[in-house]
Amino acid sequence: MIRIKNAEFITSAVKQNQYPESVHPEVAFVGRSNVGKSTIINALTNRRKLAKVSNTPGRTRLVNFFLINGQAMLVDLPGYGYAKISKSDKAAWGKIIEDYIVNSPNLKRFVLLVDSRHKPTQDDIAMMDYLRYYEKDVVVIGTKLDKLKRNDIKKSEKLIRETLQMEKEEPLYLYSSTSKENLQQVIDLVFKDLLPEEA
Ligand SMILES: Nc1nc2c(ncn2[C@@H]2O[C@H](COP(=O)(O)OP(=O)(O)OP(=O)(O)O)[C@@H](O)[C@H]2O)c(=O)[nH]1
Ligand SMILES: [Mg+2]
């Protein structure tokens, strides 16, 4: 079991010369705007306002770095897929993400968040394909599990796996930041080999 003992906001960046100088392994959170990236970061770290949460999609336009237990860096990437976005904003978003991925030697793992209530979108599929290309670990988390009927959980898992063309051994957890269901499983998966296990 991995325990999150402390979390510290380090910095926000849009380009490489603004990234923190870090020797720590990094795990990057990606997903559609409004899927719950900032909320899950607060839940994992047991902090209410570490990452900014809002009802306005597209709120997080920066790459945000958080140091966990002084040993691993959690990286919050800007969300994609909100409707009211101009072409130039979309290009800027793509560049921010790509610059980070290409210029981060310590990046070990991606956490792709999808909404467990819905079939993953075309943007989610494109993102999954894009992440696979980099040959790093990809962990998929279905968010907002509290909004799902118990009967629909298996169905949702199947739909996510099929739509994203996931192999059996590729990990998927459904999770809720509201009820905290599966929180410890998510922590163990997200920080596996990056933070020490405890009894
Ligand atoms: N019911 C429920 N609501 C959630 C959950 N996680 C997040 N939300 C809500 O979803 C909305 C968006 O959450 P954020 O964490 O800001 O989403 P985000 O992915 O960071 O969005 P961007 O910053 O725009 O990319 C907020 O109103 C949250 O309260 C969850 O597990 N259950
Ligand atoms: Mg956010």
- For 156, the enclosing helix (H) or strand (E) is helix 153-163
- Look at residue 55 in the predicted model and tell me its pLDDT: 63
- Helix residue ranges, H only, 84-121: 87-102
Sign of the torsion angle spanned by Cα atoms 19, 66, 33, 152: positive
Fold held by 7-190: Rossmann fold (3.40.50)
pLDDT tens, per residue, the chain with 199 residues: 999 999 999 999 988 999 999 899 999 999 998 899 989 999 999 988 898 776 665 555 789 999 999 999 999 998 887 666 677 777 778 888 899 999 999 999 999 999 999 999 999 999 999 999 998 899 999 999 999 999 999 999 999 999 999 999 999 999 999 999 999 999 999 999 999 998 7
- For 109, the enclosing helix (H) or strand (E) is strand 107-115
Ligand 1 within 6 A of CB of 79? yes
d(CA 36, CA 175): 11
Ligand 1 within 6 A of CB of 146? yes
Q: Shortest CA distance to 71 belongs to which of 198, 184, 199?
A: 198
The conformation of residue 120, written as its DSSP 8-state character, comes to: P
d(CA 93, CA 123): 13
Domain residue ranges of the chain, discontinuous segments joined by +? 7-190
- Look at residue 84 in the predicted model and tell me its pLDDT: 63
- Look at residue 1 in the predicted model and tell me its pLDDT: 95
- Look at residue 115 in the predicted model and tell me its pLDDT: 97
Ligand 2 mean position, distance from CA 199 (Å): 32
Ligand with minimal distance to 114 CA: 1
Ligand 1 within 6 A of CB of 56? no
- Residue located via tokens 């040959």: 135
For residue 67, give the 3-state DSSP assignment.
strand
Q: What distances in angstroms separate CA 151 from CA 1, 33, 147, 154, 157, one per listed residue?
A: 29, 27, 12, 7, 11
Residue nearest to ligand 1 atom 6, measured at CA: 36
